[in-house]
Amino acid sequence: MAWRWLPWLLGACTGLALLLLQSAMQSGKVPRNVQPEVRFQAMPTFVLKHNSKAGGTFSRTLLKAVFKFNPSKKALWKIIDDDNALFPNDKKKNFVAVLMRNPCAWNVAWANECPTKAWDFGRPTFAANPLGPMGYLERHTTDTELRNWMLNARSPEGLGVISFYLWQSMVCPKCWGWHRKVKEGLNPKEGEHCNSSHRAQQDMAVMNPQSLAHCWIFQETLMEDMRVCLTAFEASHPAAADSVRWDLFEKAAANQSGEALFFERDWSVARWAAPSLQYRRHKPCEEHFRDPAMRQIVRQSDAHLFEKFGYSDCCAPSSREIW
Ligand SMILES: *[C@@H]1O[C@H](CO)[C@@H](O)[C@H](O)[C@H]1NC(C)=O
Ligand SMILES: *[C@@H]1O[C@H](CO)[C@@H](O)[C@H](O)[C@H]1NC(C)=O
């Protein structure tokens, strides 16, 4: 009787073994989101570059809670907020971590949560905000609304707004706020090159994420990447060691990216910003990008973000192979 089951049993065993091997290989893959062996001569500050709608509000609350009190005058950590630029000099004496997100999911978040921002920069765009003068909707955007928003928010030459935002805030920070300054009659130091979408395209094509930060934090794997960055920060100088309350960090990490902590007093402000609560704020990315034509729009307008940051597809997490 038993031999009749033998082929089935063998098949099942082989299948299971392959499955286990595959998952072991996947989980054994070490993220390479941090520069190896970062060391400073003097005590660094942990600088987080907050980029709009990439987990910044959540991260700010997290850092505020997990960094220990520092008796010296030197700040243990600081945030460069979403409306300020990160300059190359910031990296010389500080440990710099930057928030990043899948370009498709990022467009969905902007279209739903800060649609007017794309026009507030004052740069020439393809067309006006299709969501109307105020721009905000009391519901999730439809596919058509998202498509029109993404198309209109591009430069006339087709550079996506997220690419422009990152170019202006990190790749070419001298140009930060250039259009707004011109509009306000401030006569900015930098010249016409800040108005060149072609130049921004070229800069993004040769941009190297390794030179912009010591560590990248991907919104899709925020807690894991944050852990890697904080660990590297602690190792970067003897005085930085033991800066983090790891017990609290791990408590937050264990509970769906830390929502549990949001129910405590200090956390209530940023409760809405927890990554796993975002479905309440907009339609899931996958639903918006079922149509290949939708994926193609982001592929073209934010092309370099996919390739430079390990995003193989719309809505997928990054391979995190930066170093
Ligand atoms: C920026 O360039 C566009 C052409 O792409 C031009 O129409 C516009 O006037 C320029 N803006 C400024 C402030 O120079
Ligand atoms: C996770 O958070 C929820 C909501 O705050 C809480 O009810 C639950 O007890 C927490 N779980 C753990 C394991 O801390």
Averaged pLDDT for residues 68-93: 89
Ligand number, closest to the Cα atom of 188: 1
pLDDT at 237 over 90: yes
260 or 224, which is more confident: 224
Distance 260 CA to ligand 2 centre (A): 5
- Closest atom of ligand 1 to 197 CA is 5
Instruction: Flag the least confident range among 60-69, 108-117, 257-266.
Output: 257-266
pLDDT at 25 over 70: no
pLDDT at 2: 52
Distance 122 CA to ligand 1 centre (A): 10
pLDDT at 71: 73
Distance 64 CA to ligand 2 centre (A): 20
- Mutation choice for ligand 2 from 247, 250, 255, CB with most ligand atoms inside 8 A: 255
Averaged pLDDT for residues 219-226: 93
Q: Ligand 2: residues whose CB is within 6 Å? A: 254-255, 259-260, 263
Helix, strand, or coil (residue 279):
helix
Which residue CA neighbors atom 13 of ligand 2 most closely?
255
Distance 124 CA to ligand 1 centre (A): 7
Which residue CA neighbors atom 8 of ligand 2 most closely?
260
Which residue CA neighbors atom 4 of ligand 2 most closely?
260
pLDDT at 1: 46
Averaged pLDDT for residues 256-268: 46
pLDDT at 28 over 90: no
Q: Which residue has the tokens 């935002």?
A: 165
Instruction: Flag the least confident range among 68-77, 111-120, 211-220, 282-291.
Output: 68-77
Distance 266 CA to ligand 2 centre (A): 16
Q: 151-208, pLDDT tens digit by residue?
A: 999 999 999 999 999 999 999 999 999 999 999 999 888 989 999 999 999 999 999 9
Composition of the chain by helix, strand, coil, percent to 5: 55, 5, 40
pLDDT at 61: 85
Q: How far is CA 205 from the centre of its chain?
A: 19
Distance 234 CA to ligand 2 centre (A): 28
- Mutation choice for ligand 1 from 155, 180, 193, 195, CB with most ligand atoms inside 8 A: 195
pLDDT at 56: 86
11 or 66, which is more confident: 66
pLDDT at 217: 97
Judge residue 133's burial from the number of C-beta atoms within 10 Å of its C-beta, 0-12 exposed, 13-18 middle, 19 or more buried: exposed
pLDDT at 269 over 50: no
Confidence bin at 24 (pLDDT 50/70/90): very low
Distance 207 CA to ligand 1 centre (A): 24
pLDDT at 274 over 80: no
DSSP E strand stretches across the chain = 46-49, 77-80, 95-100, 215-218
pLDDT at 16 over 70: no
Q: Ligand 1: residues whose CB is within 6 Å? A: 124, 156, 182, 195
**Cα separation, 281 vs 137, whole angstroms:** 11
Q: Tell me if 95 sits within 8 A of 214, measured CB to CB.
A: yes
